[in-house]
Amino acid sequence: MLLCDISLARHIKNVNEQMKNYNNTPIKNWSVEDRPREKLLQYGIQSLSNAELIGIILGSGTREMNAVELARQLLASVDNNMQELGRMSIDMMKETKGIGSARAIILKAALELGSRQKATVIDERVAITGSRVAYEMLAPLVGKLEHEEFWILILNRANKVIKSEKISQGGLTGTVIDTRIILKHAIEKRATSLIICHNHPSGNRKPSEADISITRKIKEAAKIMDIKLIDHIIVTENSYFSFADEGYL
C-alpha cells in the first residue's frame, strides 16, 4: 500500500512538473495547433478560450510564464468572471504579477472597445419591441458602472431609436434629474415617444419611491408635449426592472 502511494505521489509530481514546464514554454515553441493566433486563423475566433484571447491582447508573457498563463492568472483574480474583469481598474490589473502599466492599459482599452461596440446598436435605428430590447441596448452603457447615470432613448413613430442621450451623472446612490432637460432633448429630436433609464450600482433592481415619483412627473410633463413615455428601465449588472412590464405606467 505504501509503494502504491509513493508511485501515485511521483506520478502527480511528474504531471505537475510537465504542466509547469508547458506554462513556462514560450507560445512560439508550442505545437502549431495550440498557438492562439494560429488556432484563431485555422478554427475561427470562437475556438479560443477567454485566456487565449487575453493572451493575444497581452502579446507576451514574462520569464516565469507565457502570455496565456499570465491571462489565466489575471482571470483567476476575478474568479474567471469577465464582467468583473471589465470593471477592474488599471491599478487592480497591475496587482497580478507580470501585468504592468502598458499591458493593463492595452487590456483596458480592448475591453472598453468591446463595450462600446455593443453600445453602437443604439445608433442603428433599432425598433423597440419590448423592454428586453431596450435593456440590451442600455446595459452596455450603464450596467457595469459604479455610479448612477440617467439616460433617455428618443423614439420616432415606428418606435425606432433616433438618439440616445445621457442626461445626468451622480454618485453611488443617486443622480439629479431635470425634466426640462429631458423634454428639451426630446423636442429638438422631434420625438414621438421616450424611454428613460437609470442604473442601480447596488444590484437591487427594485425602484425607490423617488424613482416612482420622477417617472410620474416625466410622464405627465411629456404628455403635455404629446410625447409618450413608453417605459422606465432600471438597469443592474445582471438584470433589469421595467416600469411598463410591472404595471407602473
Residues 170-225 pLDDT 10s: 877 678 789 999 999 999 999 999 999 999 999 999 999 999 999 999 999 999 99
Res. 36: pLDDT tops 50: yes
Q: Domain ends where: 82, 117, 152? A: 117
Check: CB of residue 93 under 8 Å from CB of residue 64.
Answer: no
- The amino acid at residue 99 is I
* Residue-number span of the structural domain to which 103 is assigned: 2-117
**Is the whole-model pTM more than 0.75?**
no
The total number of structural domains in the chain stands at: 2
Same domain, 130 and 238: yes
168, 227: one domain: yes
Of the residues 74, 101, 117, which one is the last residue of a structural domain? Answer: 117
Percent of the chain with pLDDT over 90: 50
98 and 159 co-located in one domain: no
Instruction: Give the residue among 90, 19, 143 at the shortest CA–CA distance from 74.
Output: 90
Long-range contact set of residues 25-29: C-beta below 8 Å, sequence gap at least 24: 25/66, 26/61, 26/66, 27/55, 27/61, 27/66, 27/67, 27/68
- Grade residue 119 by pLDDT with cuts at 50, 70 and 90: low
Tell whether 223 is covered by a domain: yes
Over 80: is that where the pLDDT of 23 sits? no
pLDDT on residue 46: 85
Shared domain for 28 and 113, answered yes or no, is yes
Tell me, what CATH number does 236's domain have? Answer: 3.40.140.10
Q: How far, rounded to the nearest angstrom, does the alpha carbon of residue 133 sit from its chain's CA centroid?
A: 16
Is residue 91 domain-resident? yes
167 and 60 share one domain? no
pLDDT for the residue 74? 93
Question: Of 67, 91, 117, which residue sits at a domain end?
Answer: 117
| CATH classification at residue 61 | 1.10.150
Question: Looking at the structure, do residues 31 and 107 belong to the same domain, yes or no?
Answer: yes
